Amino acid sequence: MKPAPIKLAVVGAGSRGAIYAQYALEYPDQVQIVGVAEPRDFYRDHMVNRHQISPENVTNDWHTWLTRPKFADGIIITTPDALHAEPAIAFAKHGYHLLLEKPMGPSESDCRRIVQAVREAGVMLAVCHVMRYTPYTRLLKKILDSGQIGEIISVQHLEPVGFWHQAHSFVRGNWHNEARSSSMLLQKSCHDLDWLSYIVAKPCVAVSSFGSLSHFKKEFRPIGAADRCLDCGVAHVCAYDAKRFYFENLEEGNTDWPLNVITTDISEAGILAALRTGDYGRCVYGGLDNDVVDHQVVNLEFEGGVTASFTMTAFTKPRDRETRIFGTKAELYGNGNILEIYDFLTRETTTVSTELESDGSILSGHGGGDENIMRAFVSALTENNPEYILSGASQTLESHLMVFAAENARKQNRVMRVDHDQLP
């Protein structure tokens, strides 16, 4: 007999909450969204209507769910970075399994408290390191495990954030200020350090790092610029002109991210109003309290002497991450779609494509990782089998510790050891 669909409730029904909840609409036989906690009326109502959620499970304050018996199998926590630890710990203690957005929490102590709560409660935790779940990573991992490239000696990995994505999310958007969200390395590149840890499959022992906010500052504001792009005299020669960027999206017929982040009225008038009054219409050169880095490098040493270098930079053409893996038998290049392997013995290059045919669904984001992490979490709960989860408590704590060590290395200008003895 087919198992009954599992029941999930969403805390934080913004962009990410809506994406994971979409899985329930596509696979209603597997999962149902039965509750939502969200303080913003529009987003709460939107989720209620899409998922036909009963009024008794709709709230603007998730704390109310702690005063009643469990009404779902798991909770999807997609609140802003600084609001992950409190609900994660509370709901773990209440016996709910957790799908938790990355980063687990902005501080090491938050991460450790979450891991401890999850372990003590005996619930399952999947942290949304979606890059582990893509068909691309699965194939890459298979190739590495087959021994085709030999032992990994070193890795070079690039995260090309893209000039406009940086401006949208990390200069104007929710993640522009470290104290109010988290460091760039934690909020954006925790994916990459986690992925490197997964690919190398050895503990990271030491890190160094350099990086800063170099460009999106007042001193680089062009003469003739204004506080808002709509009033700017030099917008036509500025790559970061908000009007051009958001209107291009509108003209392409895109009604999802990034437009749905800046306004709930995705029309010409709605966008103009958002650019006139909100942060997304502000000049990237000053006037905002953005302080997260726009470029950073991290060097990593793994057990056995394997080395990796990681570069995150805003100043790129929009594209996928790129990786070179240098093995004893072959060199591998990957760009999120294509994998190319140059074999030292035969001197031949084999190319494999893992490109997905996108069906346009919001779940196809992150190279299929968004859909696959939901599938893994739902399967884990349905079959009561945590093996489906590739980004559980220990794996995530381990890679978050790499991030914290790298940030300390950058800020203190020294090499930091990653202390695995401290892993619970």
Ligand X SMILES: NC(=O)c1ccc[n+]([C@@H]2O[C@H](COP(=O)([O-])OP(=O)(O)OC[C@H]3O[C@@H](n4cnc5c(N)ncnc54)[C@H](O)[C@@H]3O)[C@@H](O)[C@H]2O)c1
Q: Which of 115, 124, 125, 128 binds ligand X (CB under 6 A)?
A: 128
Minimum gap (Å) between residue 95 Cβ and ligand X:
20
Question: How many whole angstroms separate alpha carbon 80 and alpha carbon 378?
Answer: 23
Instruction: Choose one: 75-83, 112-120, 220-228, 320-328; the region binding ligand X (CB under 6 A).
Output: 75-83
Does position 80 bind ligand X by CB under 6 A?
A: yes
Distances (CA, A) of 254 to 45, 46, 240, 245, 260: 22, 18, 19, 12, 9
Question: How many whole angstroms separate alpha carbon 157 and alpha carbon 165?
Answer: 19
Coil/strand/helix, residue 25: helix
Question: Which residues, 6+ apart, have CB-to-CB distance to 43 below 8 Å?
Answer: 13, 14, 17, 18
Q: Which of 5, 45, 50, 83 binds ligand X (CB under 6 A)?
A: 83
- The residue number whose beta carbon is nearest to ligand X equals 14
DSSP string for 299-339: EEEEGGG-EEEEEEES-S-S---EEEEEESSEEEEE-SSEE
Does position 64 bind ligand X by CB under 6 A?
A: no
Task: With CB under 6 A as the rule, give the number of residues binding ligand X.
Answer: 25
Quick one: three-class SS letters along 258-277? CHHHHCCCCCHHHHHHHHHH
Structure tokens at 390: 């590739």
Q: Which of 101, 110, 192, 371 binds ligand X (CB under 6 A)?
A: 101
Q: Which of 6, 7, 9, 12 binds ligand X (CB under 6 A)?
A: 12
Q: Which of 5, 15, 177, 234 binds ligand X (CB under 6 A)?
A: 15
Nearest Cα neighbor of 9 from 39, 43, 48, 42 is 48
Q: Which of 6, 8, 9, 13 binds ligand X (CB under 6 A)?
A: 13
Structure tokens at 255: 């009604």
Question: Which residues, 6+ apart, have CB-to-CB distance to 135 below 8 Å?
Answer: 354, 356, 367, 368, 372
Does position 148 bind ligand X by CB under 6 A?
A: no
Minimum gap (Å) between residue 279 Cβ and ligand X:
12
Is 298:197 a contact under the CB 8 Å cutoff? no
Q: Which of residues 215-254 bind ligand X (CB under 6 A)?
A: none
Output 118 or 332, the one with its CB closest to ligand X: 118
Does position 79 bind ligand X by CB under 6 A?
A: yes
Instruction: Choose one: 7-15, 104-112, 266-274, 334-342; the region binding ligand X (CB under 6 A).
Output: 7-15
Minimum gap (Å) between residue 351 Cβ and ligand X:
27
Question: How many whole angstroms separate alpha carbon 68 and alpha carbon 70?
Answer: 7
Instruction: Choose one: 78-86, 146-154, 225-233, 277-285; the region binding ligand X (CB under 6 A).
Output: 78-86
Q: Which residues bind ligand X (CB under 6 A)?
A: 11-17, 37-40, 43, 62, 78-81, 83, 101-102, 128, 130, 174, 187, 366
